[in-house]
Amino acid sequence: MILALETSCDETAAALVTDDGAVRANVVSSQADLHARYGGVVPEVASRRHLELVVPVVREALREANAELGDVSRVAVTRGPGLIGALLIGLAAAKAVAWARRVPLVPVDHLQGHVASLYLGEDALEPPFVCLLASGGHTLLLDVRERGAATVLGTTLDDAAGEAFDKGARLLGLGYPGGAAIDALARSGDPDAFAFPVARLPGLDFSFSGLKTALLYTVRALPQEELERRRADLAASYQRAIVRALVERARAAAERTRADTVAVVGGVAANSELRGALPGAVLAPLDLCTDNAAMIASAARYAEPVPYPDYLGLDAYA
């Protein structure tokens, strides 16, 4: 079994996954409540919380899998990208466990992890496919020809899609994290109430900063009472614009690469409108969209293990 740790942002996560992709345990401890009062993740607060949580979360994963450290053949860990202090806690913990058990360590790229959320369980996806990775820090269109490798077809020139959700939620007074809050509120709103712009860039890149500014100006222009009354319409229209941009570009990427399959991963893949807007697409399972360690274990199956004890000097990247 692979023991994986993920601490790149504000989730402390550990998972146990078999070599053939069966998830035996997937424990995620979110720090969202801790950061909500600041309106976003505070890196130093996140690092300190990871330090408190990492051992209990690993213990909980072992308990859930009915396993012990002796069953672990290698330890996987997110090496980057993410908050450097947060990453270092996971990396140090993973090194300690791997070193104590004299097993290899597999450093994993967080984004490869998101893609590898598609390779778990009974319905594991086989490349080739076009992958839309939409998360808090990234918006990527990837040409995936084999597991463990991908070519970037397009990316965001400014904000990530998840960031656009989070900043929009903040403007609408919905708190942090905002994606799920906009998703929920949009259900009772009219997506055609406000005409928000979808950036039309040449190629397969994205831009969400103009949309965010459009929402800001619209919110500023509305009297408080009307803002209250039309908050759901604003959420629905704003969400519609983000989803439209993602869907248009994903379709164009599939056309360009002649891919039969489009897959969607990352936190924004949890969005209900996006999930409905791409019929026939392969969607990451809901519990594997936002950060988790099962996807890191999954990616570790296609990454190079570093033998004991060569990994002790390994560093994280921000």
Ligand X SMILES: Nc1ncnc2c1ncn2[C@@H]1O[C@H](COP(=O)(O)OP(=O)(O)OP(=O)(O)O)[C@@H](O)[C@H]1O
Summarize as ranges the residues that interact with ligand X (CB under 6 A).
8-9, 82, 110, 114, 135-138, 162, 165-166, 177-180, 183, 266-268, 270-271, 290-291
Taking the least distance from each CB to ligand X, the nearer of 41 and 98 is: 41
Partner from Mg ion, ligand X, none contacting 189, C-beta within 5 to 8 A by type: none
- Strand 2-6 with 11-17, pairing: antiparallel
Select the residue whose beta carbon is closest to ligand X and give its number.
267
CB of 256 to ligand X, least distance (A): 23
Transcribe 7-53 into DSSP letters.
Answer: -SSSEEEEEEE-TT--EEEEEEEE-HHHHHTTTS--HHHHHHHHHHH
Residues contacting residue 201 through CB under 8 Å, at least 6 positions apart: 157, 207
Please identify, using beta-carbon distances, which residue of 1 and 125 lies nearer to ligand X. Answer: 125
Residues 130-159 as x/- pattern, contact with Mg ion by CB under 5 A: -----x------------------------
166 contributes a contact to Mg ion by CB under 5 A: no
Q: Which does 183 bind (CB under 5 to 8 A by kind): ligand X, Mg ion, none?
A: ligand X
Binding partner at 270 among ligand X, Mg ion, none, C-beta below 5 to 8 Å by kind: ligand X
Q: How far is the CB of 136 from ligand X (least distance, A)?
A: 3
User: Of 177, 168, 181, 174, whose CA–CA distance to 241 is shortest?
Assistant: 168
If contact means CB under 5 to 8 A according to the sort of partner, which of ligand X, Mg ion, none does residue 177 touch?
ligand X
Give which of Mg ion, ligand X, none residue 129 binds (C-beta under 5 to 8 Å, depending on kind): none
311's tokens: 């990994």
The nearest distance, CB 169 to ligand X, in angstroms, is: 7
Cβ neighbours, 10 Å, residue 35 = 20
The label of the residue with tokens 């919905």 reads 174
List binders of Mg ion among 265-294 (CB under 5 A): 291
* Smallest distance, ligand X to C-beta of residue 255, A: 25
What b/e sequence results for 240-275 when a residue is b if at least 16 CB atoms lie within 10 Å of its CB, and e otherwise?
Answer: bbbbbbbbebbebbbeebebebbbbbbbbbbbebbb
Alpha-carbon distance of 179 to 161, in angstroms, equals: 9
179 touches which of Mg ion, ligand X, none (CB within 5 to 8 A by kind)? ligand X
Peptide bond just before 279 cis, omega within 30 deg: no
Distances (CA, A) of 119 to 26, 107, 147, 169: 15, 18, 8, 32
Least distance in Å: CB of 184 to ligand X?
8
Q: For Mg ion, which is the closer residue by CB, 114 or 167?
A: 114
CB of 27 to ligand X, least distance (A): 15
Instruction: Kindly state the number of chain residues that form the binding site for Mg ion, as judged by CB under 5 A.
Output: 2
- Around Cβ 98, how many Cβ atoms within 10 Å? 25
**How, if at all, do strands 282-283 and 74-80 pair?**
unpaired
Q: How far is the CB of 293 from ligand X (least distance, A)?
A: 12
Q: CB 149: neighbour CB atoms within 10 A? A: 13
CB nearer to ligand X: pick between 91 and 103: 91
- 8 A C-beta contact, residue 146 and residue 191: no
Q: Which is nearer to ligand X, 82 or 90 (CB)?
A: 82
Residues that bind Mg ion (CB under 5 A): 135, 291
